């Protein structure tokens, strides 16, 4: 063999050997919880180990996140759960916040009709009536198997023992401290310069949770906690009353269900736009050969972007709280409608968002947020996304009760045509009305394959939630990746307006970016250091579970 040939063969071996192997996530035999903090995943997993089911673990994980992840975990916010039981029964729970009784459509406008900057985002006026405590108790009432006292005890212990500050948390707290000062009259726990490896203890939150443990759901909505909460919000200039809290109810909803190739996808229905938009986008792209085009190739990005553009244009026009607005759901999630919407697409150039409006349907009439996925040892699955909306919500912290309050009112359209904090343009369907739930993008999702549980997936990220869930499913299904590998991939996002493709920096090849620009797409790599923070579980062919815990955060998979 010539020296040259030996050199080429050796180099080939070296290249094959050096090609980074895709990362495999945590693998477990039977059960798993993947969430934004190890402490919460462990508490959820321990509940499963004790014989609890996925719904018991939901209660434990949700409340443990309220302790360990105050950035988005909460008692003062709300969320959505999609579930699939081991017998195939599916359902969804809406514990979204709602507008207070005293709210009205112009509450964030000045006398000239202009939006008052910050009013729907910072402080007590931004707060919607919280739904989380109602959500966990409703879940437990219907499906729980362990006593609630037993489920809450490790969460209370965690609050008393305290939680170690991570590097990422240190950075986040520091970043938001100026806003904590603005939103709160008195100093709060998070004003201190917390450093990595410090332990933050939460005695006030432990006391609140202990009262809830003893007295149940109504302690939060009708008891001492309700009284203190309403008084605190009003003392800070807000409008939530004891009556608002007393009237709050979580609601069971019918999830959005649709098919994509051989997958059956079960996702959240309105008042979240998540499932509807996901269905619209997936229906639109189903007939294109994404696997042939290649992962994050120009053609794949084009097709997905154009489908997203059209779905988000519809989102703004048609979607709102189904108890208040008539949504043409069947049409929106039909394949015929999505195909019709794509009829003007060409690979030669982008469609301009100016030329795209909502479809004509005959009407018969932050990165902030957090997601966790659970599969239990019995085969039940829950997918839950919960939020305060912005990072630390309204930044208003009730020191006496030990938690932050949401700024979910910003998810309403304060004024048609004016973008919210995620740049989403709202319309009449999502205007503020007393007791109405604000439109969400949260997309807790469960995927079946051949009639069996296949994947549990979801993410935070405001308007980018839907497109991050989409890309994670496609990475597994179209591009044959494992769960952790799928979660690790760089992501992009388009939401109709602004007419740009947001991309995670350094994740896309210069060749692909140049070609997209040449075609006329505007790219933005500067405003989104990360897009989404996906926590997911994949059922492997041998029945084991692979966790996908997003390294963009401190997210961790724990199970057995």
Q: Which of residues 28, 139, 269, 369 is near ligand GLY by CB under 6 A? A: 369
- Which one is catalytic: 241, 369, 370, 387? 369
To which H or E segment does residue 467 belong? helix 465-477
The answer to whether 556 contacts ligand GLY (rule: CB under 6 A) is: no
Tell me the two tokens of residue 361: 């349907």
Q: Which of residues 45, 300, 389, 489 is near ligand GLY by CB under 6 A? A: 389
- 129 DSSP β-pair partners: 98
To which H or E segment does residue 339 belong? helix 335-341
CA dihedral 129→130→136→137, nearest 10 degrees, is -40
Residue 271 or 547 with smaller CB distance to ligand GLY = 271
Residue 77 or 359 with smaller CB distance to ligand GLY = 77
Q: Which of residues 441, 468, 472, 489 is near ligand GLY by CB under 6 A? A: 441
- Measured CA to CA, the distance from residue 213 to residue 364 in angstroms comes to 46
Task: Calculate the CA 296 to chain-centre distance.
Answer: 23
The answer to whether 442 contacts ligand GLY (rule: CB under 6 A) is: yes
Shortest CB 406 distance to ligand GLY, Å: 8
Residue 28 or 441 with smaller CB distance to ligand GLY = 441
Least Cα distance to 285 among 425, 12, 551, 470 occurs for: 470
The answer to whether 302 contacts ligand GLY (rule: CB under 6 A) is: no
Please list, in sequence order, all residues whose beta carbon lies within 8 angstroms of the beta carbon of residue 485, skipping any fewer than 6 positions away: 22, 23, 24, 475, 548
Residue 184 or 387 with smaller CB distance to ligand GLY = 387
The answer to whether 387 contacts ligand GLY (rule: CB under 6 A) is: yes
Instruction: Select from 164-172, 435-443, 510-518, 534-542 the region that touches ligand GLY (CB under 6 A).
Output: 435-443
End-to-end CA distance of the chain: give it in Å, rounded: 52
Instruction: Select from 122-130, 219-227, 294-302, 440-448 the region that touches ligand GLY (CB under 6 A).
Output: 440-448
Q: Which of residues 283, 440, 445, 472 is near ligand GLY by CB under 6 A? A: 440
Is 369 among the residues known to form the active site? yes
Shortest CB 533 distance to ligand GLY, Å: 13
Least Cα distance to 409 among 79, 120, 73, 105 occurs for: 120
Residue 128 or 482 with smaller CB distance to ligand GLY = 128
Cis omega before residue 498 (within 30°)? Answer: yes
Residue 225 or 440 with smaller CB distance to ligand GLY = 440
390 neighbors 368 (Cβ within 8 angstroms): yes
The answer to whether 208 contacts ligand GLY (rule: CB under 6 A) is: no
Shortest CB 440 distance to ligand GLY, Å: 3
Shortest CB 351 distance to ligand GLY, Å: 25
Q: Which of residues 138, 244, 411, 554 is near ligand GLY by CB under 6 A? A: 411
Please list, in sequence order, all residues whose beta carbon lies within 8 angstroms of the beta carbon of residue 419, skipping any fewer than 6 positions away: 425, 497
- Measured CA to CA, the distance from residue 205 to residue 17 in angstroms comes to 51
Residue 45 or 443 with smaller CB distance to ligand GLY = 443
Instruction: Select from 192-200, 261-269, 352-360, 438-446 the region that touches ligand GLY (CB under 6 A).
Output: 438-446
Shortest CB 401 distance to ligand GLY, Å: 21
CA dihedral 313→316→320→326, nearest 10 degrees, is -60
Question: Other CB atoms closer than 10 Å to residue 39's CB: what's the count?
Answer: 24
| Nearest residue to the partner ligand GLY, using Cβ | 440
Backbone phi, then psi, for 35, in 5-degree steps?
-145, 180
Question: Other CB atoms closer than 10 Å to residue 512's CB: what's the count?
Answer: 18
- Measured CA to CA, the distance from residue 209 to residue 447 in angstroms comes to 34
Binders of ligand GLY among residues 455 to 494 (CB under 6 A) are 462
> Which of the residues are catalytic?
369
Residues of this chain that interact with ligand GLY (CB under 6 A) are 369, 387, 389, 411, 440-442, 462
């Amino acid at each position: 063999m010539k020296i040259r040939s030996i050199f080429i063969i050796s180099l080939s071996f070296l290249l094959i050997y050096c090609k980074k192997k895709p990362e495999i996530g945590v693998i477990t035999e039977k059960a798993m919880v993947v969430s934004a903090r190890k402490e919460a995943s462990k508490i959820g997993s321990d509940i499963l180990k004790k014989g609890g089911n996925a719904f018991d673990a939901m209660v434990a994980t949700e409340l443990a996140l309220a302790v360990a992840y105050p950035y988005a975990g909460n008692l003062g916010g709300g969320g959505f759960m999609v579930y699939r039981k081991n017998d195939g029964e599916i359902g969804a729970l809406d514990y979204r916040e709602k507008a207070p009784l005293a709210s009205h459509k112009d509450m964030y406008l000045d006398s000239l009709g202009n939006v008052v900057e910050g009013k729907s985002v910072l402080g007590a006026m931004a707060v919607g009536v919280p739904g989380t405590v109602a959500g966990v108790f409703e879940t437990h009432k219907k499906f729980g198997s362990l006593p609630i006292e037993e489920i809450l005890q490790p969460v209370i212990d965690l609050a008393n023992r305290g939680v170690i500050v991570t590097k990422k948390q240190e950075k986040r707290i520091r970043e938001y401290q100026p806003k904590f000062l603005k939103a709160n009259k008195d100093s709060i726990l998070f004003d201190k310069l917390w450093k990595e490896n410090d332990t933050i203890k939460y005695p006030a939150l432990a006391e609140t949770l202990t009262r809830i443990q003893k007295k149940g759901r109504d302690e939060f909505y009708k008891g001492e906690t309700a009284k203190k909460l309403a008084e605190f919000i009003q003392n800070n200039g807000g409008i939530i009353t004891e009556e608002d809290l007393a009237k709050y109810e979580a609601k069971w909803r019918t999830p959005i269900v649709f098919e994509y190739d051989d997958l059956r996808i079960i996702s959240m229905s309105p008042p979240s736009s998540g499932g509807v938009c996901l269905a619209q986008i997936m229906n639109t792209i189903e007939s294109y050969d994404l696997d042939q085009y290649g992962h994050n190739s120009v053609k794949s990005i084009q097709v997905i972007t154009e489908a997203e553009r059209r779905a988000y244009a519809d989102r703004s026009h048609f979607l709102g709280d189904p108890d208040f607005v008539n949504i043409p759901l069947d049409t929106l999630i039909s394949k015929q409608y999505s195909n019709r919407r794509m009829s003007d697409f060409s690979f030669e150039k982008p469609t301009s968002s100016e030329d795209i409006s909502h479809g004509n349907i005959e009407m018969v009439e932050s990165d902030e947020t957090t997601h966790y996925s659970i599969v239990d040892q019995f085969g039940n699955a829950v997918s839950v996304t919960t939020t305060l909306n912005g990072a630390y919500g309204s930044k208003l912290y009730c020191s006496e009760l030990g938690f932050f309050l949401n700024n979910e009112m910003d998810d309403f359209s304060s004024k048609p045509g004016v973008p919210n904090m995620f740049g989403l343009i709202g319309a009449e369907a999502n205007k503020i009305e007393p007791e109405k739930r604000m439109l969400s993008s949260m997309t807790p999702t469960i995927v079946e394959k051949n009639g069996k549980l296949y994947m549990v997936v979801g993410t935070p990220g405001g308007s980018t939630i839907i497109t991050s869930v989409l890309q994670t499913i496609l990475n597994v299904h179209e591009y044959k990746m494992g769960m952790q590998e799928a979660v690790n991939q760089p992501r992009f996002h388009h939401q109709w307006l602004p007419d740009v493709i947001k991309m995670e920096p350094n994740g896309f090849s210069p060749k692909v970016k140049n070609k997209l620009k040449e075609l006329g797409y505007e790219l933005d790599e500067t405003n989104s250091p990360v897009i989404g923070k996906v926590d997911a579980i994949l059922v492997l062919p041998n029945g084991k579970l692979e966790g996908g815990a997003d390294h963009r955060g401190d997210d961790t998979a724990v199970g057995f």
